[in-house]
A and B are shown apart, each in its own frame.
Chain A
């Protein structure tokens, strides 16, 4: 196991930020940490980086206890929301910053050689003598990534590194980062509040709320089998019926007399229609529970149409019992 959290807890004054967290990350894999703001995910990341201390519990990296090691001595590098390139240094000097002043100092020729290698990897080799203010936001984040990876960290921590970029750039750079991390076989812990980003980058995903992990697993697993209604709400699409989660893909919109005898049917109202991925989707509100869900249908429905939402309980063997907490 490359990185491990054991019963990690953190309180600040009287407020508990997170408690009793256990997590394992294998070498070369990316773990996405998703949760709403204030759930403690950023604090957890800072604790792994060593920027804040745990109240109790342990952080192990390559089986070594890092809990009390200072930030500058840990084999981890963190990337922040902003690229934070030092404005008085050139791009090459920024990339080699850690090799020059950090733990394992490297001589100048070697430094420059490795700096250029990394710049080549992030496809910015022609920019080495520029200054940060001459680069675009996406380029800056790539330099920041190179600056982190030149140190060969055991784990790289990414704190919403795309949130300061505009949406278009965001889309292209996250795909790029994903393939880059895979190509370089980097182990990473990636914090985001964006479900899609978490799925794109993460081999595994940890869903966090109110300082605990609600569920940890592969994206498919969490999407299809959310363990709690909160996870279903945050990460999946579907409805909860009698303590069971039914994915949106299993739901059909029908008129009142259409449902077959073996189907469960719930009264619902059509709210609006959108198009996505070439298909029409309808937002419907289930009458009994008030849940809103997006369902694909090839039939044409109008706003305010009263319809039935039908599904076959026995056909969906993937159904998972949901712990009702409410």
Chain B
């Protein structure tokens, strides 16, 4: 006999699955099975033709590499900027703190398009347009406020006594940060990295304006593909965008393991 509560749980999980995951699975199936003709819901045949097309396209491979490099660099720079900023906001009280906090949220309160359009000429002057560096820098705008927010709530949840405990055990601040704070903040660091990577992966218009078409990333090739007749290829292309963050997450998790064991054996 199943309790009413369990039935309710099953119902809600099923609903969540149908709403949020099933559509992505449909897309995945479409990349393997292009055959369905209206009004057919599913066709039985399937093959890897679309994936062969995608992976034999040099442009896509090149864009894929660029996208991953840009995403990884954006995550790294976000970490370097957001962790100290979040520490400063979480651990110190000073006059004008609300103002500084709002300024740090500014890039998500105004359209990034405005920033990109405004910076375009300036970035041409300092030679940052049409370069990976320029694209990486402009990707900081839609990501940094979220990174700071996630890391700040991480620090807020972490009692300052951990740092004090480490200090009274004779360990300096710098070492405390690497041996204690980073491991304790891992949940926040993990969400920050995935969130930032996905946002960077989603940028079309910033990359297009600052990269000037010279820096080719996956979204830039995706747009022209969108209306192409070969629906299996578009579907497969879309699936890549879902797989990349997952792959990134796995690699990142591996790096974390390496880091932790390095900290312990050092």
B-binding residues in A (CB < 8 A): 49-51, 70-74, 76-78, 80, 82, 84, 86-89, 93, 97-98, 101-104, 147-148, 151, 157
Contacts and interface: CB of A to CB of B under 8 A. Distances in A.
Nearest to A103: B170
Given A77-B170, A80-B161, A101-B179, 9 more contacts: A50-B168, A51-B164, A72-B173, A77-B168, A80-B165, A86-B162, A88-B183, A101-B176, A102-B169
B171 A76 contact: no
B254 interface: no
Contacts of B172: 72
Contacts of A151: 169-170
Q: Which 8 A-B pairs have the closest CB atoms?
A: A102-B170, A98-B169, A71-B167, A88-B183, A78-B168, A103-B170, A101-B171, A84-B165
B170 A88 contact: no
A84 B162 CA distance: 7
A159 B156 CA distance: 23
B175 A101 contact: yes
Given A87-B184, A88-B183, A72 B170 contact: yes
Contacts of A103: 170
A73 B170 contact: yes
Contacts of A87: 183-184
B180 interface: yes
B27 interface: no
B167 A50 contact: yes
Interface residues of B, number: 20
B187 to A, nearest CB: 11
6 contacts: A78-B168, A84-B165, A88-B183, A98-B170, A101-B170, A148-B169
Given A80-B164, A82-B161, A84-B161, A89 B264 contact: yes
A93 B179 CA distance: 12
A148 B169 CA distance: 7
B167 A72 contact: yes
Contacts of A84: 161-162, 165
B166 to A, nearest CB: 8
B85 interface: no
A219 B162 CA distance: 34
B101 to A, nearest CB: 23
B260 interface: yes
A74 B183 CA distance: 25
Contacts of B260: 88
Contacts of A71: 164, 167-168
Nearest to A144: B165
A68 to B, nearest CB: 15
Contacts of A88: 183-184, 260
A86 B180 contact: yes
A98 B171 contact: yes
Contacts of B161: 80, 82, 84
A80 B28 CA distance: 53
A77 B167 CA distance: 9
A101 B171 CA distance: 6
Interface string B251-265: 000000000100010
